[in-house]
Structure 1
Amino acid sequence: MVFDHLAELARSARRITVLTGAGVSTESGVPDFRSPGSPWLVHKPIGYAEFLSGAEVRAEAWRRKFAMDDIYRDARPNRAHAALARLDGLGRLVAVVTQNIDGLHAAAGLAPSRLVELHGNGTYAHCLTCGQHFELATVRRHLEATGCALDCACGGFIKSATVAFGQTLPTATLQRAVAAAKGCDLFVAVGSSLVVRPAATLPQIAQAHGAVLVILNREATPLDPAADHLFRCDAGDGLLALLDGVAATAG
């Protein structure tokens, strides 16, 4: 069976890094970006340079953000998120590096020390100047009452704590992701299209440092030819098999 082979790979691994993409959260009702008819294409995120260009643009960015939030406001962690949280408890997880901004890995109980949110987190906001934390409800109340984006008391712009198109990834976050790729003997990319850089570079960084590369995805990715093992499966099925393999040799 295909999942027996995946479980066997997990049994022999001692240091596992997992890269997760949108396919990990679709089972929770969070739409991915590239599927035909995706609401992300209707409420297309505004790029970083444009966000900074004017107050009206920032207000529109927030309107689109809240429209998307309403679509998946009831999303809860699914079996894939739960499997990774349980894997952490077995002592072989180096890190989960995620491209997702939905906060569901943390909601499933994955330890912050094991979680690298490469593209940030969409469940709160912060000031781009002073870094002050803002709850989304505060930003939304102001937008709906005034039609304008809320600015910080320091005069800085308040933005969702995600990395927008054209915005530089925080150096420390990228360094953690690269270190996780270099520090594993099994690298599992799951539910990711593997087209967005720098996330798409991590699997090959891991391979270059001796890791076995496993890709779990329902659709083809550009890195499929480079994979040591390729599985066409749902994220939940694949990660549960990975967990079963590790659990079989735990303790």
Structure 2
Amino acid sequence: MSSLEGKRAFVSGSTQGIGRAIAERLAADGAQVWVNGREEGKVGAVAAELGVSGIAADVSTPEGVAAVVAELPEIDVLVNNLGIFAATPLLEIEDDAWQRFWDVNVMSAVRLSRAYAPGMRDRGWGRLLFLASDSAVVTPTEMVHYGVTKTALLAVSRGFAQTFAGTGVTANTVMAGPTHTEGVEDFVRSLVGDELPWDEAQRKFIAEHRPTSLIGRLIEPAEIASLVAYLASEESSATTGGALRVDGGYVNHILP
């Protein structure tokens, strides 16, 4: 287990799913953690359950990011986890949906990283982490706008890594594969139906819709959190500018 004793970590969009698992793991590894979401009640409840702190703010907006930075001026680890997805035929994706996905999935990460990276550089240590997806390199026909935002995060992460080269600040993208979250469970059911028990339903979904998976099941959020914990730690000091996959072998080629 990596040690994050004395490190301060902020995880955007972390009241459920992968973000919550990441917050829980970083706290278990010794970090002082802040969870985040838009609803104050939910943020407070999750923070209490995990024994961490919380900040309620919509970080898809400049005002929300400013509110977070005002309350939490310095951090050591930033996990840009916030993201949304929805299955929509390409020709039916309206301009406002494109903009919404861009603001939530990309600009939240850009603004938070831009706010916190200079302080990390000045202190000589920091970790910028971006949660992308297999959809960054395998564009999903059913949600192209989502895939586009995840591809963009690869470039954003690499750009921050290059800009802060040699400063002790690293930036990496974690490319998560099909993961068992509340939203994905609904998505799976929409494709394979409600009749099957969950274990059978997820395996049917993988077999029919993600057949290149080498583990034959959805990934659990804690499995994503394990890679994030490593990248947030001292042990990852030589890993930067990368796109690291925890996708169950779904992406059917060697490089990202």
TM-score scaled by length of structure 1: 0.39
Name the larger-Rg structure: 1
Which structure has greater helix proportion?
2
**Relative contact order: is structure 1 or structure 2 higher (C-alpha 8 Å, sep ≥ 6)?**
1
